[in-house]
Structure 1
Amino acid sequence: MKVSGIFFLLLLHRSCSALNIVAPRTHNALIGSSTLVPCSFTVDSPPINPQFLAILWLYGEKELVRYDNKEKSALPGVSIDEGVASQGNASLTIHNVTIVDQGTYKCVIIYSPNRKVKEIQLNSQAPPKVKLLEKVLLKNRDNHLLCLITSFYPKDITVTWLRNGLTLDGFELGTLQMDTDGTYMINSSITIFSKHNQDHAIISCQVDHVTLPEPIQDAFTVQYGEEPKITMFSSHVGQNELFVCQVNDFYPEAVQITWLMDGKRMEPPRKNASSTFNKWDHFLIPGNHKRNMNVSCVVEHETLESPLIKTLTVADEKNSLNLILAFIATIFVSVLITLISLHFFVYKTKYFQRFQLSPIHILGGWNGETDQKMTMCCTASNCSKEIQVTWIVEEDNGVKLKVTDHQSDEEAGKLLNGGYTVRTNQSERDGLYNAVTVLTFTPNASKHCNMKATCSVLSGRRTKEKTYKWSFNVSRPRLSAPIKFSVDSFGDIVCSVALEKFYPKNIQTIWSCGAGNYQELDNIKSKTFLNHSENTFICQSECQVPQHLFRNPGFRVRVMWTHPSLVQPDSQEVSAKDLPWSPVVGEIIVPSLVHGTEARLQCEVRGYYPNNLQVRWLRTESGKSELYEVCPSDKYKVPEMETTQEPDKTYTSTSSLIVSVSAITEQGAEFICQVTHPSLERPLDKRTGVLTVKGKPAVQNIFQDGKYIVLEVDSFYTQNPLVTWGKADKEFGPYKRIEEKSIQSNTTKSSDGSSCLTSKCDTVKATHMVKLVDTYFKATVEHGALKTPEEIFFVRSKGKVYLLSEKEKKELENITTNY
């Protein structure tokens, strides 16, 4: 932008004061940060007088900042410190530097009458990030290692592989790729044959870049991995089928297990003495399935080039037996066999055995529901006398209760709140007694967190006891709300979730993300604490995800949690469409459209995150509904979108469309600003509405036609201009308005769609035609395309009409301004 002639008052300062300006030739700035482009100046006669000072910053020829005693303005994203500008510091601050900010900046200092300019070349830069994906080797085989280098700019980079600080040869560089934010990424790979003498060797991927004071690297100490072995089996649980997948003897610890049913995805380690790990997972299929199905366990591990898969086929089942009934039936069969054995030994061999008491068994599965009954069972056999059974329950809160099945009504009433019942069935054969006794109760969090149940059996003078310790799994974790989002100070998106009302405390949350292939995240923060009012636990878990990953519409984040109360892990997923920062599109600002001029249409989009906004301009023709994309051309210009980051981390962008206005193409047309963002299900459209084009009237001719004075006005659109006439007998007025009845107007159409107006004034008397006295006239043209009315001054002298000269017109305007 030209700056000469815009500071008229500054040029009135005539005192000569030398001006010196200091600024570097180049300046480097990190992408995503704020940078201060230095520029300072001095005068030889301080202090600096702000009245004669003007500061401008230009990017190429585009004005960024203006500072003088009349105006202080700056485009979004840039600023100067006005508090120190008058002290000689004109440095420019660029907020949230991007790649497009690099280029030539001009620091212009005017201290009237002196003017000086310094050019500074700004270089946008971004340091690389380095990550080794594989950090484990397999013995006596080739190992393929991969190093990812991301988020760097400019693109020149040096990669070196090292073993114990010595350079390795034979590595390869992948294809350089550009990320959506304009930075670059590349990968490097190397194949290493592992040997035993490489124990504890350090393998490094080292990267050097212009932004780094010294090279950076990611490294690991060689450790040998073991490939996992997989075992899979199934078992009936009531009417359901339980599948168990056991993975053994693998190292390192991280492993991922996935379940497939007929090929479709359905969705805690222990260390061995051999320093490898085992892990098991399970999958429960509800009963009453009516067809054969294949259930697969898929295991992924760092030592595997491809996943391990084990598959079992589930046959069609029509009548599954209940597990509790089957268990009790087994007990009775065992009792029957015991009776037969006793008969043989007591009566055939005359040998008497002491009675036996089995361990306590849990009947049925426990799924953590608060209203589910818990049933414990114990059997006694080979008793010489009738049996008396007492269950002793020690609750977690210190209460100790004794429960029998022959208590008095008063005793039963005392235990009613405890909710315990005992049922014992005895049988006698060949003089020996057998019994099955069952304790039933409803678990409670405050009483059964770590309870102990003892079955005490008295037969004659002999007593036997069995004790069972049970940890209470009271309830499943529940989501208090869907996954929440926030933005941290580094611009990463923080995903957080709260799980509540679960017991016991041991819960594990696993975050992963990806587009089809999920990768487990390691930057996880979780904390679990007790809700004292309910005696249950609450877990809060969060992870950080780089914002650029959400630019992929298929990218998803998953949180999965495991807990003893769950048969299989539960999970929740979110994508960019769940983000709370969707763009809000403002109204399109449409200036007055004047034929033959340029007009800038602007549309502001606010409140979106991440910074992956796409804007297209579309148009419709007059009277038609078809949409056409506006492509840059001589008629349409689409400047680069201006984007700034707000204090709340969201982005605001302004998109512009510059149109060379023509009444033929723009009259009745409509422009549409279409916005696309990963958080949107479908694009957002904002319309201008039907456009109206104005034509700026132009006075083409003034002449005399007999007693008429004729004024011709053409090149206007949409409305006729208003022409008024005034007359004065003196050179400088005052002008008296001529009545409408003395004026004739006629409008005609031109080939380009514009109109022409002829206005004739017949107020000249015949005596004026022959008099030698001059008569002065003024014609005023008003139209919507004119910022101010246009006035034409002329004089009739000696019977002829003459336009006043520019000098005479200026003097006349000055005199008649207040009229």
Structure 2
Amino acid sequence: MAFLRFQLLALLCLTGALEVFVRSPQKAQVGSDVLLQCTFSVTSPPVDPKFLAILWRYKDDIILRYDTKGLAHHPRVSFNGREAKTGNASISVANISLRDGGIYKCTVIYSPQTKNEEIALEILVPPVIRIPNKVATKGEHKTLLCSATGFHPSIINITWMRDGDKVLTDSQLGKTQRNDDGSYSVNSTVTIMPDSNHKNQSFTCRVHHDALHDPLEESFQLVYKDAKWNRIIVICGAVILVMIGVILFIFISRKLKNLRKAPGRFKLNDIKWPEKLVDGEEIILYCIGSNCAENTQVTWLEQRGSDEPEIIRPSSGQVEEEEALLDRSYEICDNREGFRSYSSRLRFIFSLEKHKGVKFICRFTSDNETLEKHFHCKPVYAKPSLVDRVKTSLCVSGEILYSLRLDGLYPRDIQILWTCVTGERQEIISSEEQLVEYSPLTFSVCSEARITEKVFTDPTCKVRVTWEHGSMDQPQSREMSILDPDFRWTPVVEAIQTPRLFHGSPIDLECKISEYFPDALTVNWLIIKDGSEEETSLPENMFHMKSKRESDLTYSCSTILTDLPSLETHQGVEYICRVQHPSMKTHIETRTGKLRVMAKPHPVEPIEMTLGDNSRVQFYLNLQGFYPKDIEITWDSEDGKYRYLLSPTNTVTRGKDQTFNVSSVCAVLGPLFINPQYRISVQWKHESLDVPEVRSWTWRDLPWRPLMEDIIIPELEAGKEAALTCKFSGYFPDSPSVRWIKKEKGNETEVKLPTDDYKVLYSKSNEATDKTFTQVARLIFNPHLERDQGAEFICRVTHPTLEEPIEKRTGPLLTEYMKKPQISDITPTQDGMFELKVDGFYPGDIDISWIQRAESSGDQWQTLNPYSGNIRRNTDGTCSMTSVCEYYGGNKDKEKYILMAIVKHKSLESPEQKTLRLESDNGKLKPERKLLPFL
């Protein structure tokens, strides 16, 4: 609680952010002094000593502590407290030994922040080499031995050489052995056959090791002896060793007899123990007896409750630290310190479950006198252990839930504090704790705190949780930041969806970003042009983005850039989508790589066709605006059975916009199109096209379709030969089919014309400037009133270029048949009347009028009222009728008169007249006598 009060005070002081820097790994030669460098900095210097604490640990043992209470450290460790105020927390370790290698931890506490950094120290011990036997026997194999001992680390290389430069490749390196002090030893051997040629040769053993600045080597020459001298040397050596052993035995025996009992009274000091007994930590109970006799014996016992004490049996042999933690074994170490003192240490791993309430007894027996000291296991603790790490999860409300779980603590009292630091502002965060039983003796606590999304838009925001427990020398803490490497919700940027770029065609480049939190994403699009390394930011109005929240409560967005590529400015460009987020120290990006701008060939539609000489059809394919230049154009034809490749003429040109144009001309024989299965095709392939494009033509696709003019109808007269003329032109090839058809009046059925009554004549011509054909079809017949009246004639043309036949019609020929009337003279009848007969006329509409006047008087013409009979139909379809006029004349005798009949008909260009001269005879009109012969 005191620390938490101190920490709250520190929060009010707005201390700066803490950063710790170390140099790791480091190496040191055995016996030297090494400086373990650890420096720190705060954002608001200078360092305030009131908030500073520095700890150094080696294998979980504290070797230095520096805080407001002062400085405590191991005798071989030195530290400068004045420099600590300037940010230097380094220590110097003197007289480095092999046991000093391993992990050192530098902990800097600048309340309320704690930073830990580790330094790996590797101890270098150079090897010592020895070549024990340099004597060889002539004619016998000799194995040379080079021994390297006392080196560290274990990696070593040994090479044998002859005469200084020739390497012996058949040497063998033995298995590396670890010595009791932690160093290593190894032997290297090489076998040779000594002979007279080796007398002047030298051999060298060369050793390479990290602890050596230069290779270590030893050179020698063999000493040659005969075999009999070897046996003598072995016998002499054995005798010498026996003599040395006898002398040592006599010396030791006399030394032991001279030992005397320690003077004074036998005394046993209290057991020394650590301040806290923490579950899982190593405990050493230390007891010293003074004025002890030579036969002093020590026994350690443990007593549980009221049970009888049990003698502690130490584990046999040396037990590794990890094994001891698992076995909970005891290790007893007795040591005579001079001739008067005797010490004993009981070393074990404290277990809350096993040792809570246990009493340890140290019993000394010296010259039959027994003394003992007791130690009760209290107070006891179990350190809270952090399960995994501080966990984070997202809430639907848009907050991050931080969850801390500590297991195995004893006793249950624990203080947990959550704080949030944003810039220079610090505030305490409310939290909820839940304490449950973890085991029969220990507890588990879970603490949760919620922080809003808006806080994390500032990357300097840090969340710190600190816990304090009686088992801990110092509070422990964890600090979380959105910039931590294990922060789970950093953006994931997918590759840019890159379409192909086409000149003058807008493109959309899409980049998807997902799995990030909070929603504070910044996206920039940049472009690098070909031949340049300079990045150019694109304006924001060229791209847009929209974010959304996913089912896993993270955010995702899709950003789309719209651009208009051109060959001049975008060839070889590279687009970059650069993403920044508060959870990242630097931006991340994805690139398209260098892109190529292409342009698709566009055909000029419709593809032009012209007629050439010798009835050839020329096809003109014009492809415009494509890039790159390479393009493949293939012409071919097929007739239903075979396929033929054609040879076109291609001409390529370049436009002002850097694109290319090509004109491909291909000529084929026009009459081939008469075959309905004949087809000509052209195909072009280009890099910009997904699939080749094809155009093909059959006879239906030729543009030269026949155009028909209206049928020319002459004046038709029954019985008089006439010709209906139909002209059609502008067609190719020359393969039309013409048919004349008749539809009779009142009947829609088409009737085939009988060849006896109707004849068809054709005339062709291809004198048109465009080399197309023209044809005139004539239907010759004698109009018949009964057969042809009201009939309709059709001229129907079929051609390969036509899907359906075309035709022209005359319409019903009702008013076009005429026959002039045959008019008789005016004749008197027996009943005193005059008549006029009209025969063989058509159509039946006719007008007959009568007029008269007196010739002598010169009177004007007078209209008479005739009596006209009905029109009669003749067998040939013509008409006949008779018109009768009654005329009395005047009262004068011998008076002369003129009687005239006027006939009007459609077939007559002008009315026809018939005249009769009359004279009066006794009141009656009679024809003049001179006219009688004509009657």
Shorter chain as denominator, the TM-score bin is: 0.3 to 0.5
Higher-Rg member (1/2): 2
Structure number with the bigger relative contact order (C-alpha 8 A, sep ≥ 6) is 1
Q: Report the TM-score when normalising by structure 2.
A: 0.38
